[in-house]
Amino acid sequence: MSEPSTPTPMLELRGVMKRFGDKIVLDGVDIPVAKGRSLVIIGGSGQGKSVTLKIAIGLMAPDAGQVLVDGKDVTRLPQSERAAHNAQFGMLFQGAALFDSLTIWENVAFRLINADGVPRKLARERAVEALTRVGLAASVADLYPIELSGGMQKRAGLARAVVAAPQIIFFDEPTTGLDPINADVINDLIVEQVKRLGCTAVSITHDMASARKIGDEIAMLHKGKIVWRGPASQIDHSNNPYVDQFVNGRADGPIKVEL
Amino acid sequence: MNVVQAVGRSTLGLLRTAGSVAIFAGRGVSATFSAPWFGGQFLRQTVAIGYLSLPVVGLTAVFTGAALALNIYTGGGRFNAEQIMPQIVALGITRELGPVLAALMLAGRVSAAIAAEIGAMRATEQIDALQTLSTDPFRYLVAPRLLAAVLTLPLLTAVADIIGISGGFLVATSTLNFSGPLYVQNTWNFLTSWDITSGLIKASVFGFIVALMGAYHGYNASGGARGVGRATTHAVVSAAILIFAADYILTSLFSGK
């Protein structure tokens, strides 16, 4: 009797390894993410969260292993195919990574104008609409990133990530550097936008409030391996000593802080 | 043994860097000649590299031309050859000092600015953002700068040639009792089109070096603000050294010696 077939994950990291010099950062990481699900990867600093995200989105090549998007191996796509492939991705960077020399609307509409060939007038309309969705006034459109607060920059970064309706969105430490209220607003916006687009989301964070709010599932990365994965609702009952120590923020436990 | 190891390590490091720069240059040139092109970026860089460098290049040229005239007049006097000063000033400016000084000014002003801007973009993940937005950083950042520098430095050099020769003219007519019309006539009759063209060809090559060094060091900057500072220094120093090296090679090629 054959086993029931499982749907192809929208994004899958399979046996991914990465080392920098002698330091092994990722040691055979397997992370499948089902279509329409939101996975949050937690873990301490220097445990390979950012490297995982960069490999998933194609900014870094793994030493071994594969990255599959909707079942297609995209690990070592040539540069010419990479741009087209990235069209299905959106990403909110930790510091928003808005382009200093462009206005907010030009930042938000960057992909539309430069990659998708949307006329500037139409691109501006879509950018302003996206800004409104993340709670920014239309008047912000003509300002430069330097004129915005950190929270507003994050919102603009979110608008840029979702404006082209991507199939997979990546969030890199979305609440870092924000006060608790602004962090909660960003979390709400992320949940709202991911739900509206029906897309798959992968986030990395060490903010547990954020992880609980934006994730359907949570995976913990420690020393280059996934040491636990489960529903977000189970994070406080994982019975995993690494997760317990991390979630409760205790100095004592199996995780040793390297000084 | 340690000395041999050190020499070997340095040689390998140098070769690795040369290879890395060559690959970077190849990608930059390839991006310059294939679509998509970013016309707005090119125009912006043309203004930043060319137009905004006019004052510094002009001032450098006028003072250099004036000083050159005084030195050649003094040196020529030792052989009773003061009267060939206009011709030597013109030759020195068009073939050598115009392109080299304009390029060195751009190495200080433009290489540094390109390295700092692209380095800061690297440090704040803006280059990563470009890639996630389906935009090749080589096409958007590197190609427009390379093209703008290659096209504008010859124009700046042409301006430097005119201003530099004018600097010599001013000194000659105001303090050395040269006749103005005769100075102009001597210069005009002496210069060949190749004197000017060879200087402009050099300028184009120097422009490529200036933009390439700025972009290369900025693109590969690491280590936050300190890394950006280091990239800026490396860009200026390497651009200056390569300009002098290229100057010798091109002069040797042009003179056939």
Chain B residues closer than 8 Å to A174 by CB: none
Query: Using the 8-state DSSP alphabet, how is residue B142 labeled?
Result: I
B1/B46: higher pLDDT = B46
Q: How confident is the model at residue A258 (pLDDT cuts 50, 70, 90)?
A: low
pLDDT at residue number A232 = 92
Q: In this complex, is the C-beta atom of B135 within 8 Å of any C-beta atom belonging to chain A?
A: yes
Interval A95-103 mean pLDDT: 94
Interval B106-123 mean pLDDT: 95
pLDDT tens digits, residue range A130-142? Answer: 999 888 999 999 9
pLDDT at residue number B34 = 86
B248 in any annotated domain? yes
Q: Please name every residue paired with A26 in a beta bridge, in sequence order, or none if there are none.
A: A18
B3 in any annotated domain? no
Which amino acid, one-letter code, is at A89?
F
- Residue B158 pLDDT exceeds 90: yes
Q: In this complex, is the C-beta atom of A59 within 8 Å of any C-beta atom belonging to chain B?
A: yes
Nearest CA in chain A to B37: A114
- Are the CB atoms for B84 and B76 separated by under 8 Å? yes
B206 in any annotated domain? yes
User: Which of A79-93, A168-182, B97-111, B175-189 has the lowest average pLDDT?
Assistant: A79-93
Q: How confident is the model at residue A230 (pLDDT cuts 50, 70, 90)?
A: very high
Chain B residues closer than 8 Å to A110 by CB: 133, 135
- Residue A204 pLDDT exceeds 90: yes
Return all residues near A61 (Cβ < 8 A) that are at least 6 apart: A55, A75, A76
How many domains are there within chain B? 1
Q: Please name every residue paired with A92 in a beta bridge, in sequence order, or none if there are none.
A: A171
B1 in any annotated domain? no
pLDDT at residue number B80 = 84
Strands A200-205 and A168-172: parallel
Cis bond leading into A7, ω under 30°? Answer: no
For A97, which of B36, B128, B135 is closest by C-beta distance? Answer: B128
Chain A residues closer than 8 Å to B121 by CB: 99-100
B221 in any annotated domain? yes
Q: What percent of chain B has pLDDT over 90?
A: 86
Which amino acid, one-letter code, is at B117?
E
* Tokens linked to A26: 């990722």
B109 in any annotated domain? yes
User: Which of A67-71, A90-94, B34-38 has the lowest average pLDDT?
Assistant: B34-38
pLDDT at residue number B1 = 62
Question: What distances in angstroms separate CA A203 from CA A33, A235, B61, one per listed residue?
Answer: 11, 16, 56
Q: Within 13 Å and on the Cβ side, how many CA atoms surround B178?
A: 26
- Residue A2 pLDDT exceeds 50: no
B229/A78: higher pLDDT = B229
B6 in any annotated domain? no
Map out the domains of chain A with their CATH numbers: 1-88+197-259 (3.40.50.300)
- Are the CB atoms for A168 and A198 separated by under 8 Å? no
Chain B residues closer than 8 Å to A93 by CB: 125, 128-129
- Residue A256 pLDDT exceeds 90: no
- From CA A90, how far away is CA A108, in angstroms rounded? 11
- Residue A257 pLDDT exceeds 90: no
pLDDT tens digits, residue range B180-237? Answer: 999 999 999 999 999 999 999 999 999 999 999 999 999 999 988 899 999 999 999 9
A79/A171: higher pLDDT = A171
Q: Is the ipTM of this complex over 0.85?
A: yes
B222 in any annotated domain? yes
Domain containing B94 equals 22-255
Does A86 contact B131 at a Cβ distance shorter than 8 Å? yes
pLDDT tens digits, residue range A136-172? Answer: 999 999 999 999 998 999 999 999 999 999 999 999 9
pLDDT at residue number A259 = 61
DSSP codes joined into one string, A87-130: TTEEEE-TT----TTS-HHHHHTHHHHHTS---HHHHHHHHHHH
- From CA A210, how far away is CA B82, in angstroms rounded? 81
Interval A212-228 mean pLDDT: 93
